[in-house]
Amino acid sequence: MALHLHNTLSRNVEPFEPLDPDGPVGMYCCGPTVHDFAHIGNFRTFVFADLVRRVLQFRGHEVNHVMNITDVEDKIIRRINETGTPLPEYTAKYESAFLQDLKTLNCLEPHHRPRATEHIPEMLDLIGRLIEKEIAYQAEDGSVYFSIQNYQGCGCNYGRLLNLNFDAMRQGERVSNDEYEKDSVADFALWKARVPEDGDVHWSSPWGDGRPGWHIECSAMSMKLLGNTFDLHLGGEDLIFPHHEDEIAQSEGATGQPFVKLWLHGAHLLVEGKKMSKSLGNFYTLADLLDQGHEGRAIRQLMMSTHYRETFNFTLDGLAGAKTALARIDECIAKLREVGGDEPVDPQAEPIEKFTAALDDDLNISSAWATVFDWVRDTNRRLNEGLSSAEAAAALAAWQKFDTVLAVGKEESTVPADIQAKVEQRTAARAAKDFATADALRDELHAAGWTIEDTPNGPRAKPL
Ligand SMILES: [Zn+2]
């Protein structure tokens, strides 16, 4: 079976076929709006995007991963007005905290991280093309809006991700806010004319000073880096309308070409069964959880335990369970490392086949984890029965392959050269029956925080 994914556009699970069989898969994920510290609900989406990227790579695809940084939009302007901080200074703080959090969650760094404020010329170009085609117009308030009526008049269809029924909807005249509900579908702002509340945040344009709307930012940056038509666009399901719908309209309106082949959307996250909110006391940033002593990889494991299209209930009990699960894996891997040789070997075939089949089925992660935990149980049993060095190495290679997708494994602790030298001197002393020297070396190792364990491959240093 080939990799299959659910396309929001077709509402079907489809085989994934890259647009260019020889080139990299173009993948765009809407990045953070850097107006505050990201919360764990945001990170569910980014861990999901990381899973998609890792599965594509696991299936042999090269990926070109783009994640934008939204560093100008309504919320940011509001915050800088409240705090009196200049925009670049304000957003830099939250951008760097966000990138640090991604690392803590073992998310691979995107290949490109375009900032909106650095792509204003591309946005102006796109708006200019829409005006030329009469799909956009400048209104009396000086702002430039996207005309849904004219877009539909060109034979295009607005509302493809949601299947909007225009006849049943109240249509507003136009909307300047970046966020609005689907019952107020209306012409939306591409370029917002400068108003006093914008302070210093404005750029010049053929339509006067102003700033871009949020939706045009993603169209301009994604097409600049991935071309007019690309493979995958990801985001949380809350972005389907209006953000992604508007991205399609702007992009296809300007280019006349299909924008994205496959849209993937991740479901919401609840915390302790409720919508996360500061007033309910169940609102967590990643830093909050790390301060409570939780590990990034356990948070990742928990976030990846449920299928991406299912609402996920994040609980502290669940996090404790993830910690226990990872400890079981760590223990098994540590034993395999003791027994396994260093020679490169092929991984066990059967567990990898099962794991791959689960992921191919629209990223059926629960089934993939079940394969991994069955494998841990089976491996522990075989270790107890006695596993040859080659068998252990093949099992270890299987784990390494699982972990290219899961990314929750603990790094193998590396033994410093001076400690390793003392271990070898002690082994030599014991072989020469010089027990006084051997004991002295053992005491020195203890003092340095190391103990010696006998393994089938000989004595090894372990941190105390
Ligand atoms: Zn976006």
Question: How much distance in Å is there from the Cα of 125 to the middle of ligand 1?
Answer: 18
Using DSSP, state whether 412 is helix, strand or coil. Answer: coil
Dist. CA 117 → ligand 1 center (Å): 14
Kindly give the distance from the C-alpha atom of residue 19 to the centroid of ligand 1, in angstroms, as a whole number: 21
Predicted pLDDT at 424: 87
Sign of the torsion formed by the C-alpha atoms of 140, 141, 142 and 144: negative
Under 8 Å CB-to-CB from 158, ≥6 apart: which residues? 148, 151, 152, 164, 185, 245, 249
Q: Of the ranges 96-110, 155-169, 442-456, which is most confident?
A: 96-110
> How far does residue 188's CA lie from ligand 1's centre (Å)?
15
CA 216–ligand 1 middle distance (angstroms): 8
Q: Contact 283/269 with Cβ under 8 angstroms?
A: no
Tell me, what's the pLDDT at 61? 97
Q: What is the pLDDT of residue 170?
A: 58
- How far, in Å, CA of 333 to CA of 26, rounded? 35
* pLDDT tens by residue, 178-220: 887 766 678 999 999 999 999 999 999 999 999 999 999 999 9
pLDDT digits (tens, 9 = 90+) for 119-132: 999 999 999 999 99
- How far does the centroid of ligand 1 lie from the alpha carbon of residue 100, in Å? 21
Query: By C-alpha distance, which of 125, 111, 117 is closest to 211?
Result: 117
C-alpha to C-alpha distance for 302 and 117, rounded to whole angstroms: 34
Output the CA 74–ligand 1 centroid distance in Å. Answer: 14
Taking the centre of ligand 1 as the mean of its atom positions, its distance from the CA of residue 215, in whole angstroms, is: 6
Q: Please give the share of the chain, as a percent, with pLDDT higher than 70.
A: 97
Looking up tokens 């003392």 gives 422
304, pLDDT greater than 70: yes
Nearest to 230 by CA among 218, 240, 238, 243: 218
Omega before 242 cis (within 30°)?
Answer: yes
Round to whole Å and give the CA distance between 194 and 433.
85
What percent of the chain is predicted at pLDDT more than 90? 78
Q: How far is the CA of 440 from the centre of ligand 1 (A)?
A: 63
**Rounded to whole angstroms, how far apart are CA atoms 183 and 161?**
15
Task: Please report, to the nearest 10 degrees, the dihedral formed by the alpha carbons of residues 164, 165, 170, 171 taken in order.
Answer: 60
Least confident of 119-133, 146-160, 349-363: 146-160
Ligand 1: centre distance to CA 53 (Å): 17
pLDDT at 173 exceeding the cut of 80: no
Residue 315 Cα to ligand 1 middle (Å): 28
Tell me the pLDDT tens digit for each residue of 282-301.
899 999 999 999 999 999 99
What mean pLDDT, rounded, does the chain reach?
A: 93
- CA 410 / ligand 1 centre spacing (Å): 33
Q: What was the pLDDT predicted at 108?
A: 97
Q: 72-101 burial by CB neighbour count: b if 16+ within 10 A, else e? A: bbbebbebbeeeeeebeebbeebbebbbeb
DSSP track, 414-435: PPPHHHHHHHHHHHHHHHTT-H
Q: Which two tokens stand for residue 166?
A: 């225009």
β-strand 63-67 against 458-463: which pairing, if any? unpaired
pLDDT given for residue 172 in this prediction: 67
CA 258–ligand 1 middle distance (angstroms): 17
Residue 98's pLDDT band, with cuts at 50, 70 and 90, is very high
Tell me, in angstroms, the distance from the centre of ligand 1 to residue 238's CA: 11
326 Cα: distance to centroid of ligand 1 (angstroms): 34
Tokens of 349: 């075939």
Instruction: Check whether 168 has a pLDDT greater than 90.
Output: no
pLDDT digits (tens, 9 = 90+) for 405-430: 999 998 777 788 888 888 889 988 99
Q: Ligand 1: distance of its center to the CA of 77 in Å?
A: 18
382 vs 1, residue with greater confidence: 382
57 alpha carbon to ligand 1 midpoint, in Å? 23
d(CA 229, CA 257) in angstroms, rounded, equals 7
Confidence check: pLDDT of 441 > 70: yes
Q: In this predicted model, what pLDDT tens digit does every residue of 307-318 receive, in sequence order? A: 999 999 999 999
Strand, coil or helix: 159: coil
Q: Which residues, including other chains, have CB under 8 Å from residue 86's CB and lie 6 or more apart?
A: 80, 200
pLDDT of residue 67: 98
The pLDDT value given to residue 344: 81
Token pair listed for 397: 């290679």
227-230-235-238 Cα dihedral, nearest 10 degrees: 90
Please count the other Cβ atoms lying within 10 Å of the Cβ belonging to residue 453: 10
Q: Quote the CA–CA distance of 424 and 411 in Å, as a whole number.
A: 23
Alpha-carbon 396 to chain mean position: 26
Question: Ligand 1 center to residue 248 CA distance, Å?
Answer: 11
For residue 281, the model assigns a pLDDT of 82
Does pLDDT of 364 surpass 80?
A: yes
Ligand 1 centre to CA of 162 (Å) is 16
Q: Is the dihedral of CA 84, 85, 91, 97 positive or negative?
A: negative
Please state the rounded mean pLDDT for residues 112-124: 98
Asked whether 83 and 94 are in contact (CB, 8 A), the reply is no
Q: Compute the average pLDDT of residues 261-284.
A: 91
Residue 135 Cα to ligand 1 midpoint, Å, equals 20
State the pLDDT at residue 184: 62
Q: If you measure from the C-alpha of residue 370 to the centroid of ligand 1, how many angstroms do you get, rounded to a whole number?
A: 34
pLDDT at 456: 64
Q: What pLDDT does 325 receive?
A: 97
How many Å lie between the centroid of ligand 1 and the Cα of residue 31? 7
Determine the distance separating the centroid of ligand 1 and the alpha carbon of 79, expressed in angstroms. Answer: 20
Count of CB atoms within 10 A of residue 117's CB?
19
What pLDDT does residue 243 have?
95
Dist. CA 264 → ligand 1 center (Å): 13
The yes-or-no verdict on residue 163 having pLDDT over 90 is no
Measured distance CA(178)–CA(393) in Å, rounded: 54
Looking at residues 77-104, what average pLDDT do you find?
A: 94
Q: Among 69-83, 151-165, 197-211, where is mean pLDDT lowest? A: 151-165
